A and B are shown apart, each in its own frame.
Chain A
Amino acid sequence: MMKILIIEDEKELSKSIATYLGRENYQCDTAFTYKEGSALLAEKDFDCILLDLSLPGGDGIQLLQQLKDDQKTDGVIIISARDSIDDKINGLQLGADDYLPKPFHLSELSARIAAIIRRKQYQGNNALQFEEITVDLLAKTVKVNKNQVDLTKTEYQLLVYLLNNKNRVISKNAIAEAISGDGAALYDNFDFIYVHIKNLKKKLASAGAADYIKSIYGMGYKLTIT
Chain B
Amino acid sequence: MKLLQKTIRSYILYSVLVLLAGIPLFYFLVHSLVLKAVDNDLLATREILKPRISDALVRNNPAEIHFLDQNITLQFLSVRSNFTKIITEDVYDAGLQKKIPCRVLQSGFTVNGVPVMLQVSNPLPNRYKLISSIVLIELLLLALLLVGLLLINRQLSKTMWQPFYQTLQQLRGYNLEKSGALALPQSSIQEFNELNQSLQELVERNEKSFAAQKEFTENASHEMQSPLAVMQGKLELLMQTSPLTEEQANLIDELADASQRMARLNRSLVVLTKIDNNQYDHIESVSLNHILRRFLDEYHLQIAEKDLQVVPVLTTDNALRADKALIEMLVSNLLGNAIRHNYKGGSIHISTGAGWLEMRNTGAPEALPGDKIFQRFQKQSDDANSTGLGLEIVRKIAAIYQYNIRYDFINGEHRFSIRFNNQ
Contact = CB atoms under 8 A, between A and B. Distances in A.
* A joins B in a complex: yes
B240 to A, nearest CB: 6
A124 interface: no
Given A183-B299, A185-B385, A186-B336, A16 B279 contact: no
B385 A186 contact: yes
A10 B230 contact: yes
B230 A13 contact: yes
B229 interface: yes
B229 to A, nearest CB: 4
A220 B252 CA distance: 10
Nearest to B273: A83
Contact of B218 (A83, A104, A154): A83
Contact of B249 (A106, A168, A218): A218
Contacts of B218: 83
A174 interface: yes
Nearest to B340: A186
A198 interface: no
Interface stretch (B31-39, B92-100, B256-264, B408-416): B256-264
A83 B236 contact: no
Contact of B244 (A13, A101, A105, A216): A216
A219 interface: yes
Contacts of B230: 10, 12-13, 16
B107 interface: no
Interface in A27-60: none
A171 to B, nearest CB: 5
A103 B229 contact: yes
A171 B229 contact: no
**How many residues of B sit at the interface, in one of the four size bands?**
35 or more
B266 interface: yes
Contact of A13 (B226, B235, B249, B253): B226
Contacts, number: 127
A172 B254 CA distance: 11
B239 A219 contact: yes
Interface string B302-342: 10011000000000000000000000000010001001100
Given A185-B264, A219-B253, A106 B279 contact: no
B260 to A, nearest CB: 4
A102 interface: yes
Interface in A186-226: 186-188, 192, 216-220
Contacts of A104: 229, 232
Given A102-B225, A168-B240, A187 B305 contact: yes
Contacts of B386: 185
B257 A85 contact: no
Contacts of B236: 16, 20, 105-107, 169, 171, 174
Contact of B237 (A106, A173, A216, A220): A106
Given A13-B233, A103-B228, A181 B270 contact: no
A192 B307 CA distance: 13
Contacts of B249: 216-219
A180 B302 contact: yes
Nearest to B239: A169
A173 B270 contact: no
B66 interface: no
Chain B interface secondary structure, helix, strand, loop or mixed?
helix
Contacts of A85: 274, 279
A192 B332 CA distance: 20
B233 A16 contact: yes
A216 B229 CA distance: 23
Interface residues of A, number: 41
A72 interface: no
Interface string B274-311: 10000100000000000000000011011001100000
B384 to A, nearest CB: 10
B421 interface: no
Contacts of A105: 232, 236
Nearest to B264: A185
B267 interface: yes
Contacts of B267: 82, 101
Given A23-B240, A103-B231, A187-B302, A86 B279 contact: yes
A19 interface: yes
B119 interface: no
- Residue in A103, A105, A187, A192 with the greatest tally of chain B CB atoms within 10 Å: A103
A70 interface: no
Given A182-B332, A185-B385, A19 B256 contact: no
B69 interface: no
B298 to A, nearest CB: 6
B301 A154 contact: yes
A83 B270 contact: yes
Given A171-B256, A186-B336, A103 B232 contact: yes
A114 interface: no
A186 B299 contact: yes
4 A-B pairs closest in CB distance: A16-B233, A217-B249, A103-B229, A103-B228
Interface of A: 10, 12-13, 16-17, 19-20, 23, 81-83, 85-86, 101-107, 154, 168-169, 171-174, 180-183, 185-188, 192, 216-220
14 contacts: A20-B237, A82-B267, A85-B279, A106-B237, A169-B236, A169-B239, A171-B239, A174-B236, A180-B301, A185-B264, A219-B249, A219-B252, A219-B253, A220-B239
Given A12-B233, A185-B340, A220-B253, 14 more contacts: A10-B229, A16-B236, A20-B233, A20-B240, A81-B270, A82-B266, A101-B267, A103-B232, A106-B233, A106-B236, A154-B301, A187-B302, A216-B239, A219-B249
